[in-house]
């Protein structure tokens, strides 16, 4: 179990024909309470899909009762018809689960942008009753129903003292912050109000999903949702809950990184000795988005010069001629000059660690990214054909 590991939740995932593969493509997670609370973080892309527009409005009106998610179509840039499809989906779910307010139903979609017709609508709305009938407290199918180009399901569970957190996620491409490209549903049976959930969720996402930058591309459909049922009757210390939630989000971010489209290296860029946390993030992100660096890692080439060139484009406070750079534990650059021979560094393992020491302060941050491969280019060159 994942999102149904906490008490007070049921979920389901079924195939309705949105995907040509016949795999599950419509999911539903219902919060049965007894005391519902929720928090949501959305993409900061100005171009937003119809489900995001709906869910933003819904989230302002009170705690969510349920969230319905489809893969196989983003329902983005589909005009008034697409927004109406989202509204009808929420209304169908509300009716099927006995909710008296469709605006308490969050909606998420993922897939190709610009597609969505009457057939798409009918496959979703018409199959909501069957989806609701499949709801179960021991369900394991919802995690598969939200996947697109993902090769594996992404889940996490944390057991607290009398309370639990469960989560599912999707994401393999367009992974960049604000929010990192994904759909995530997190559930907990802890007894917490929406304000406490919002604070914990924003703190957790800022240290995990917002530091995942696989390809620098931000989606139109990103949404991370946290639902609380209060079914455990336990109110954890808010700091303890926030730490546990951060752990769950960090696990999911790592799983997203490991499944990034076409990648052959998972790269952790650790920036140390920064004047501020913001500087550390800016420096790490400048490397994560540098195609020359990413291509070098694909070729198992520890080209530390590309790291220095990348970080030199930032406005962070540091002296480029005092920086150290290490690849997989081998310091190749010291004080802005060559140190150890590059042939001492082995970049053949998938897991790659790059350490950048700025000597400008006491702050640090790690940005997750991936290399740039032939497979990534091929997969995305034929995505819509």
Coil vs helix vs strand at 368: strand
What does the alpha-carbon distance between residue 124 and residue 160 come to, in Å, rounded to a whole number?
36
What does the alpha-carbon distance between residue 75 and residue 111 come to, in Å, rounded to a whole number?
8
What does the alpha-carbon distance between residue 30 and residue 330 come to, in Å, rounded to a whole number?
50
The sheet carrying 164-170 orders its strands as: 37-42, 223-228, 183-188, 164-170, 154-159
Specify the residue for token string 């240290």.
Answer: 207
Beta strand segments in 192-281, E: 223-228, 266-274
- 181 an active-site residue? yes
Coil vs helix vs strand at 286: helix
Coil vs helix vs strand at 5: coil
Task: State the catalytic residue, choosing from 181, 205, 220, 352.
Answer: 181
Cα separation values, 255 from 74, 102, 161, 250, 268, Å: 22, 33, 25, 9, 13
Q: What is the DSSP string of 144-187?
A: HHT-SS-SS-EEEEEE-SS-EEEEEEE-SSS--SSS-S-EEEEE
What are the residue numbers of the active site? 181
């Amino acid at each position: 179990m994942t999102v149904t590991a906490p008490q007070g939740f049921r979920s389901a995932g079924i195939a309705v024909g949105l995907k040509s593969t016949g795999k599950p493509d419509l999911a539903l997670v219902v919060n049965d309470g007894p005391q519902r609370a929720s928090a949501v973080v959305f993409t900061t892309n100005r171009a937003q899909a119809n489900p995001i527009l709906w869910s933003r409005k819904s989230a302002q009106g009170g705690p969510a009762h349920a969230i319905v998610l489809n893969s196989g179509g983003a329902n983005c840039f589909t005009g008034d018809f697409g927004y109406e499809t989202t509204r009808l989906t929420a209304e169908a779910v509300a009716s099927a689960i006995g909710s008296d307010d469709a605006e308490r139903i969050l909606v998420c979609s993922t897939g190709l942008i610009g597609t969505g017709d009457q057939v798409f609508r009918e496959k979703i709305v018409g199959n909501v009753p069957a989806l609701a009938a499949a709801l179960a407290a021991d369900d394991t199918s919802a995690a598969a129903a939200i996947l697109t180009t993902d090769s594996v399901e992404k889940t996490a569970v944390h057991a607290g003292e009398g309370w639990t957190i469960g989560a599912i996620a999707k994401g393999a491409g367009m992974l960049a912050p604000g929010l990192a490209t994904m759909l995530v549903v997190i559930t907990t049976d802890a007894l917490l109000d929406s304000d406490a959930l919002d604070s914990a969720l924003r703190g957790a996402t800022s240290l995990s999903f917002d530091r995942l930058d696989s390809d620098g591309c931000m989606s139109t459909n990103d949404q991370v949702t946290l639902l609380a049922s209060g079914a455990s009757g336990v109110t954890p210390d808010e700091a303890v809950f926030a730490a546990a939630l951060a752990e769950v989000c960090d696990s999911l971010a790592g799983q997203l990184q490991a499944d990034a489209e076409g990648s052959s290296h998972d790269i952790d860029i650790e920036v140390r000795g920064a004047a501020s946390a913001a500087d550390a993030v800016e420096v790490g992100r400048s490397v994560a988005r540098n195609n020359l660096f990413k291509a070098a890692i694909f070729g198992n080439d520890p080209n530390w010069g590309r790291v220095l060139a990348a970080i030199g484009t930032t406005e962070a406070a540091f002296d480029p001629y005092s920086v150290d750079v290490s690849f997989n534990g081998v310091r190749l650059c010291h004080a802005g000059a060559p140190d150890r021979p590059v042939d001492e560094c082995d970049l053949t393992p998938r897991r790659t660690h790059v350490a950048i020491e700025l000597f400008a302060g006491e702050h640090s941050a790690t940005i997750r990214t991936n290399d740039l491969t032939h497979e990534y280019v091929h997969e995305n060159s034929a995505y819509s054909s």
